[in-house]
Amino acid sequence: MEPTQSDVTRLLGLLSQGDPDALDRLMPLVYDELHRLAASYLRRERSDHTLGATALVHEAFLRLVDQRQVDWEGRSHFFGIAAQAMRRVLVDHARRRSAAKRSRNMQVTLDTGADVATDGGADEVLAVDEALERLAHLDPRQARLVELRYFAGFSIAEAAEALGISPATAKRDWALARAWLHRELGPG
Amino acid sequence: MTSDSERWRTIKAIFGEVAALPSAERPARLAALTMGDPALHAEVAALLAADGAVGRRFEQLPPGLLANLPRPTTRGSDSSTD
């Protein structure tokens, strides 16, 4: 059943009041909506267009949240959850794609003896996802910042607002996180 | 808070302070801030080097990751925007 605006809006209200179950109930609703939107983008826009994660997250916000009934805190919560959900959508896609590529590669190698270039896009997303698990142990907020920037395409200013930190702090945290990712993943 | 996350906070503070300096002033400042801890020095130095090398990597998702899915043989357009 499709979630209604009032479900998500009400759950965001409960989350702001500190209800621990609200997050667990929100996540699947937001995930499903983003997944659905991503699939319909793919059908409409075909293969010659880069999908904008930011656009999807904002569209999900407009569809799922009654703007008259959420404050800045509810917005922040929503975008944090949406970035996490977007990460899952993308990682799930990348896993499937990477698996498909592996089986195609194997076929081509058998047929021609040539190797096919690996799929940098899917591989990078999976590697960033794994590295972020480690970063979350060192600094959970910094990991969420990367989630917002990389997986949801938020600007420094938007990510800072969603995390309730100053843009200067977000900028510093992002610079270090990016350097750390670059070192963890090796040359791209 | 684990000792790893405490160390990360130290790394973060030193990285932030040194990265804000002109590059000529960095080595001396880094050495002063990490005196007596060669592992810390190496760690922050490696991160500063990575900061210089990272370019625009990770600023956006790999182009075409999702868009290519229906037709895996074509590349998505790289319409990078800020």
Per residue in A49-78, pLDDT tens?
455 888 889 989 999 999 899 988 899 999
Mean pLDDT over all residues of chain B? 82
Distance CA A131, CA A146 (A): 11
Question: Contact at 8 Å (CB) between A85 and A30?
Answer: yes
> A47: which residues sit within 8 A by CB, 6+ positions away?
B64, B67, B68, B69, B70, B71, B74, B76
So what's the ipTM on this one?
0.80
- pLDDT digits 0-9 by tens, A169-183: 999 999 999 999 999
H/E run at residue A32: helix A20-45
Q: Chain A contacts of B64, Cβ < 8 Å?
A: 47, 50, 121
Q: Report the pLDDT value the prediction gives residue A102, as an integer from 0 to 100.
A: 77
Q: Report the pLDDT value the prediction gives residue A1, as an integer from 0 to 100.
A: 56
- pLDDT digits 0-9 by tens, A100-154: 877 777 766 555 544 444 465 888 999 999 999 999 999 999 999 999 999 999 9
Of the candidates A50, A128, A176, which has its C-beta nearest B76's C-beta?
A50
- pLDDT digits 0-9 by tens, A3-43: 677 899 999 999 999 998 999 999 999 999 998 888 877 66
Q: Report the pLDDT value the prediction gives residue A72, as an integer from 0 to 100.
A: 87
Q: How far is CA A168 from CA A33, A80, A159, A175, B38, in A?
A: 32, 19, 11, 11, 29
Q: How confident is the model at residue A2 (pLDDT cuts 50, 70, 90)?
A: low
Q: Report the pLDDT value the prediction gives residue B60, as an integer from 0 to 100.
A: 84
- Of A4-13, B50-59, B64-73, minimum mean pLDDT range: B64-73
Question: Contact at 8 Å (CB) between A150 and A49?
Answer: no
Q: How far is CA B26 from CA A33, A115, B15, B45, B48, in A?
A: 47, 44, 10, 10, 9
Q: How many CB atoms lie within 10 A of CB A180?
A: 26
Q: Chain A contacts of B77, Cβ < 8 Å?
A: 48-50
CB contact under 8 A, B69 and A179: no
Q: Which of A188, A181, A91 is nearest to A139 (CA)?
A: A181
Q: Report the pLDDT value the prediction gives residue B66, as an integer from 0 to 100.
A: 62
Lookup: tokens for A14? 């409960």
Is B67's pLDDT higher than 70?
no
- pLDDT digits 0-9 by tens, A159-171: 999 999 999 999 9
Q: Chain A contacts of B8, Cβ < 8 Å?
A: 138-139
Q: Report the pLDDT value the prediction gives residue A119, as an integer from 0 to 100.
A: 62
Q: What is the pLDDT averaged over residues A86-107?
A: 83
Is B23's pLDDT higher than 60?
yes
Question: Contact at 8 Å (CB) between A29 and A8?
Answer: yes
CB-defined contacts A:B, below 8 A: 120
Distance CA B66, CA A49 (A): 9
Q: Report the pLDDT value the prediction gives residue A76, as an integer from 0 to 100.
A: 92
Is B81's pLDDT higher than 50?
no
Sign of CA dihedral A44, A46, A49, A52: positive
Question: Contact at 8 Å (CB) between A177 and A145?
Answer: yes
Q: Report the pLDDT value the prediction gives residue B78, as an integer from 0 to 100.
A: 38
Note whether A61 contacts B: Cβ–Cβ < 8 A. no
CB contact under 8 A, B57 and A173: no
Q: Report the pLDDT value the prediction gives residue A98, as an integer from 0 to 100.
A: 81
Q: Report the pLDDT value the prediction gives residue B22, as an integer from 0 to 100.
A: 95
Query: What is the radius of gyration, based on Cα positions, of chain B?
Result: 19
The tokens 């030193």 sit on which residue? B14
Q: Report the pLDDT value the prediction gives residue B34, as an integer from 0 to 100.
A: 97
Lookup: tokens for A157? 């200013």
Q: Chain A contacts of B76, Cβ < 8 Å?
A: 47-50
Interface of B with A in 20-39 (CB under 8 A): none
Of the candidates A41, A128, A137, which has its C-beta nearest B5's C-beta?
A137
